[in-house]
Amino acid sequence: MKKIAIFGGTGNTGLCAVDAALKKGLVVRALARDPAKFPVEVQSKVEIVQGDVLNYDDVKKTVEGVDAAVIVLGTRNDVKPTTMMSEGTKNILNALKEAGVKPVSGCMSSFLFMEIEKVTPMLRDLTQDHIRMLDALKASDRDWIAVCPPHIAGTEISWPAICSLATSGHGMMGVLAASAMSVLWISRKALKPFMSSETEPSGNYEIKHGSSPGRAISKYDLGFFLVDCLDKPEHYHQMVGIAKPLQA
C-alpha cells in the first residue's frame, strides 16, 4: 500500500488520519469542499481534490491510482437528519469498484452495536445514516472495515453543538438535553473522563469485533487505526469496536 484516498480529511478525526498516513510514508489524496480548511503545513504534503463527496466525478478523480480509502465523513455539530454520509459512501464504493480498489475503512459510531430504540433520541437521525453507511459497506464487494468508536476524546463539546441540540427538532427532549449539557460545558471537570490531553497516537487502545471495548478513544488513535487497519485482513468485513482500556 503506497497511496490512499481520504474522505472527510478536514475534520477532527480526518486530520488525524491524514497525519497518520503521512507518518507511515503514504501518499495521501484528499477530497475537500474547502481546501483552506487543511492546516497550511498539511496543504503542501497532500494531493487535494477540491469537490464534494456527493459529486461522483469528484469522488472518481480522488480514487484514481490509489490502493485504499478511508471514509471519515461527519456533520460536525449538526445533528439534524441527513443522508450525506451514506450517499457519499455509496459514491465512494462505486468509484472504488470502478477503479479496482478493494480496502476501505469507514468511521461510524458504537451506537451501531445497539438497537436504535436505545440510542439517545437526539442522535438517532445521525445513527440512522450510519446504519445506511454500514448497509452500503455490507452490500459492496470491497474489503470493508466498519470502525465504530464510542466518544472521541480530543473533540470538545462546543457551545454551537449545545445550541444545535436545542433547535434540532427533538422538542422538549432536545431542550432538556441541551440544558444539561450547558451545565457540563461550564463545569468541564465533569467531562474529564471523556476528554484527552494527547497530541499523538498512544497505541493504548483495544480492538473488539462486534462490540465496543470501552467508552472513549482519542481522535489520534482513531485516525491511526482507520489507516493502519487497511492492510490487516483480519479486520475485513467486520464491525470493529475501538476504545481505551477500561480502568478498574
- For 129-160, the DSSP string reads HHHHHHHHHHHS-SEEEEEE-SEEETSPPPHH
- As a whole number, mean pLDDT of residues 209-237 equals 97
pLDDT recorded at residue 190: 46
Identify the pLDDT of residue 170: 44
**Using 50, 70 and 90 to split pLDDT, how confident is the model at 77?**
confident
Instruction: Provide the pLDDT confidence category of residue 76 given band limits of 50, 70 and 90.
Output: confident
**pLDDT tens string 123-142:** 999 999 999 999 999 999 99
Give the model's pLDDT for residue 246: 78
- Whole-number pLDDT of residue 18: 98
Q: Which of 16, 107, 148, 163 is labelled catalytic?
A: 107
Domains and CATH numbers, the chain: 3-154+200-243 (3.40.50.720)
Q: Which three cell numbers stand for residue 101?
A: 480498489
Mean pLDDT of 187-194: 48
Cα 225 versus chain centre, distance:
11
Tell me, yes or no, if 16 is annotated catalytic.
Answer: no
Report the pLDDT value the prediction gives residue 214, as an integer from 0 to 100.
Answer: 93
Identify the helix (H) or strand (E) that includes residue 47.
strand 47-50
Catalytic option among 16, 148, 163, 229: 229
Give the ranges where the chain is alpha helix by DSSP (H). Answer: 12-23, 40-43, 56-63, 84-99, 124-139, 159-166, 171-186, 219-228
pTM score of the predicted model: 0.85
Q: What is the pLDDT of residues 114-124, one digit of tens each?
A: 999 999 899 99
- The residue with cell 469485533 is 209
Alpha-carbon distance of 11 to 112, in angstroms, equals 21
User: What percent of the chain stands above pLDDT 90?
Assistant: 77
What is the per-residue pLDDT for 153?
84
Q: Are 153 and 216 in contact (CB under 8 A)?
A: yes
